[in-house]
Amino acid sequence: YLVATLSTIADPEKDRRTSNYALNWSPFRDGTLQLSFAYNESQASDNNAMTKTISPALRWNVSRTSYLAASYQVTKSEADAGNSDSKSFNTNLVAFF
């Protein structure tokens, strides 16, 4: 499925805008493999800030009682005060007994 949201908050002192997009796909009927992708963006006029985040992820249901998940996230922030970039990779192996 595909999801998209857009919101704008305006007041006399500052404007804020956020955009969120997400895509989830399971290529097999039983949902054994799940792929997802998300993109988030926010802007604030009070400090000229812009933040963008990209997050792809994967989940493989190995059995009824265990799964393996992996995700990657890239965030880039720019503002009058400075810029920052971050990247993270996460994996989980979960087993229920």
How do residues 29-63 score in pLDDT, each as one tens digit? 888 999 999 999 998 887 889 999 999 999 999 99
Kindly state the average pLDDT of the residues 65-91.
96
Specify the 3-state DSSP secondary structure of 29: coil
What is the per-residue pLDDT for 5? 80
Supply the mean pLDDT for the chain.
Answer: 90
Q: Phi/psi at 21 (nearest 5 deg)?
A: -130, 140
What is the per-residue pLDDT for 1? 65
Closest CA to 56 of 87, 79, 93, 19: 87
CB 43 within 8 A of CB 17: yes
The C-alpha angle with vertex 43 and arms to 39 and 48, in degrees rounded to 5, equals: 140
Interatomic CA distance for residues 88 and 96, integer angstroms: 26
What is the per-residue pLDDT for 81? 87
